[in-house]
Structure 1
């Protein structure tokens, strides 16, 4: 019989991704729900090859604060709850903080975001869950997330 051991980080993320990401449509669902929770009233969904080659969601929601962009891709990081008591009064579509981390762990993700308080936005690129680029960028208020 095999010994009990802790799985490595990459394997854990891929298992979590399998729980969250059943198909391209589940990625679209998670990202559109994030846009709605961000207060967007305009959301554009672009897909290529049934979502297997490209998924891009563009919204005019509140955006993500510059100092929170990296945290958005960490497991169990969320703006939607703070304590277990919050679980009894959820008014959002998602709350677990799993979607972006799971999506990024099995794909290439580019996120461009800006809040109304900022004069410029932030662009972050991840491959396999690892940040490969983070820079300032000119962009409108809201978020554009591209998954390939």
Structure 2
């Protein structure tokens, strides 16, 4: 019998991604729900090759502050609850904080976001769960997710 071992974070994230992201529609659903939770009055979705090669979801919601962007992609990070007591009065479409982490684990993802209070937007690139860049960019208020190459780094 094999010894019990603790899995490394990359393996953990890919397993979690398989539980959250069954197909491209799962990504669109999660990102559209986040847009609605951010108060968006408009959400645009563009897909190519059934969503396997490209998904873009753009909204005019509240955006994500620059300081929060990297944290948004960590497992179990969320803006919707702070403690167990908050679970009794959730008013959002999702709160577990696994969607962005799972999406980033198995795709090449890019986020462009801007809040109304920030003079510049933020562009964040994360591939296979690893941060590639975080920089200022011109952007309208709201958030755009660009998802490329779904499941590009999943072995099975």
TM-score greater than 0.5 by the shorter chain: yes
Match of 1:79 in 2: 79
Q: Could you list the runs of 5+ residues in structure 2 that have no partner in the other structure?
A: 149-156
- State whether structure 2 residue 133 is matched by structure 1 residue 133: yes
Q: Return the alpha-carbon distance in structure 2 between the equivalents of residues 18 and 87 of structure 1.
A: 25
Match of 1:101 in 2: 101
Match of 1:144 in 2: 144
The CA deviation at 1:126 is 0.6
- State whether structure 2 residue 48 is matched by structure 1 residue 48: yes
The CA deviation at 1:138 is 0.7
Match of 1:24 in 2: 24
Runs of 4+ with >4 A deviation? none
The CA deviation at 1:119 is 1.0
- State whether structure 2 residue 13 is matched by structure 1 residue 3: no
Match of 2:117 in 1: 117
Compute the RMSD of aligned alpha carbons.
0.5
Instruction: Using structure 2 for the length normalisation, give the TM-score.
Output: 0.94
Q: Return the alpha-carbon distance in structure 2 between the equivalents of residues 8 and 25 of structure 1.
A: 28
Q: Return the alpha-carbon distance in structure 2 between the equivalents of residues 142 and 93 of structure 1.
A: 18
Q: Return the alpha-carbon distance in structure 2 between the equivalents of residues 15 and 104 of structure 1.
A: 13
Q: Return the alpha-carbon distance in structure 2 between the equivalents of residues 124 and 45 of structure 1.
A: 19
1:127-148: CA deviation from partner (whole Å, max 9, x where unpaired): 1011101100011000000001
